[in-house]
Amino acid sequence: MEAYAAIIERQGGEFVLDNVSIEDPRDGEVLVKVAAAGICHTDLTVRDQYYPTPLPAVLGHEGSGVVEKVGRGVSTVKPGDKVVLSFSYCGTCPACLKGHQAYCPSLFPLNFMGRRLDGSTPITRNGEDVNACFFGQSSFATYSIASENNCVKVADDAEIELLGPLGCGIQTGAGAILNSLRPAPGASIAIFGVGSVGLSAVMAAKSSGCLKIIAVDRNPARLEVARELGATDVIDASTTNAQEAIVAMTGGGTDFAMDTTAIPQVLRSAVESTHNMGETAVVGGAKLGTEFSLDMNNILFGRKLRGVVEGSSTPQVFIPQLIAMQKAGLFPFEKLCSFYDFDQINQAVEDTEKTGSAIKAILRM
């Protein structure tokens, strides 16, 4: 199968679009004709080699499209089905069997090593291997080989080009609230960093009945979007000490906090902006080896800190729930999205990373 793909050839480089060849699906695999793919911060951290996915590689892990072919043994999807592609997991370990797929011990090799577990790759260029299998999909291409576990079937009338970001970034932000922190109605929460993940958390916090939702960022335009989507208060961290402001406006700190920035100092501020017994979720992906410090006495007095991967979700359950919430007007994630043609991928990256004019860029194939 001939396809067109965006390839990162060197650390920190631009995406290079080129023709590639993609294998037919093997046992347990699915060939998807990609309709669209969101750009996520994790694609850019791998471009910069914060995670050691080998290059050259086809990235992309928020794909959506239509099933073209299925390999032997695939039973949950068939050709013609519309699917959202999410992260890859083994499906057989104790964590997966208990519904904790995001904490599968094989998560890193299945999602970041650029190869199937047997060392092969489904993508070649001019007869040379190209690293793929990124999040089990490598969806910055017109066709993707995914595993059956990656595929979330959606309705035949689904607006498929819009739905790819549910597979990672939007699922991560919303799931951190709905699946991990689970605030009770009336709770208070501070969300540090309101890109697509943080804004998804704002919407989820509103749908959960949080009465005080504080958005913290350095981008005034993003803070305005946060207010439109449900934030009751916004703090520009470039001019205000967010931690002090949060403690003051809540009379001692919030019930919950969430850090999306992967910046150690911001994470510490998030933890210290909660009251005794408060709970903080960290969802940002930092460079491997990044360390942070906390005052042990602040943790001693009942505070909790938890890491959250992929919103602690089972994609086949959670993504349809988010789609239903969107249809009901409770989760208008479409307001975050800007569309680009596939060959505008480098412009989309610039608008996401440098100017901030795109919150969630989606590439139409």
- Rounded to whole angstroms, the Cα distance separating 203 from 362 reads 20
The CA distance from 225 to 330, in Å, is 16
φ/ψ of residue 320, rounded to 5: -60, -35
Q: And the tokens for 356?
A: 């901030």
If asked whether residues 221 and 97 sit together in one domain, one would say no
Would you give the distance in Å from CA 347 to the centre of its chain?
Answer: 20
* DSSP conformational letter for 23: P
For residue 213, what are the domain limits? Answer: 172-309
Summarised one tens digit per residue, pLDDT across range 203-231 is 999 999 999 999 999 999 999 999 999 99
pLDDT at 92 over 90: yes
Are both 142 and 178 inside the same structural domain? no
pLDDT digits (tens, 9 = 90+) for 74-91: 999 999 999 999 999 999
Paired residues of 39 in beta bridges: none
pLDDT in tens, 1-59: 999 999 999 999 999 999 999 999 999 999 999 999 999 999 999 999 999 899 999 99
**Is 321 among the domain residues?**
no
Tally of CB atoms within 10 A around 164:
33
Quote the Cα angle for 25-31-35, to 5°. 165
Flag whether pLDDT at 283 surpasses 90. yes
With a CB cutoff of 8 Å and minimum separation 6, the contacts of 8 are 15, 16, 46, 47, 55, 56, 57, 58, 59
Cα gap 122→71, rounded to integer Å: 13
Pair 302, 159 in one domain: no
Question: Each residue of 124-152: pLDDT tens digit?
Answer: 999 999 999 999 999 999 999 999 999 99
CATH assignment at residue 107: 3.90.180.10
The answer to whether residue 108 scores a pLDDT higher than 90 is yes
Condensed to tens digits (0 to 9), the pLDDT of residues 317-329 reads: 999 999 999 999 9
Query: Could you tell me which residues are beta bridge partners of residue 214?
Result: 190, 233
Count: domains in the chain? 2
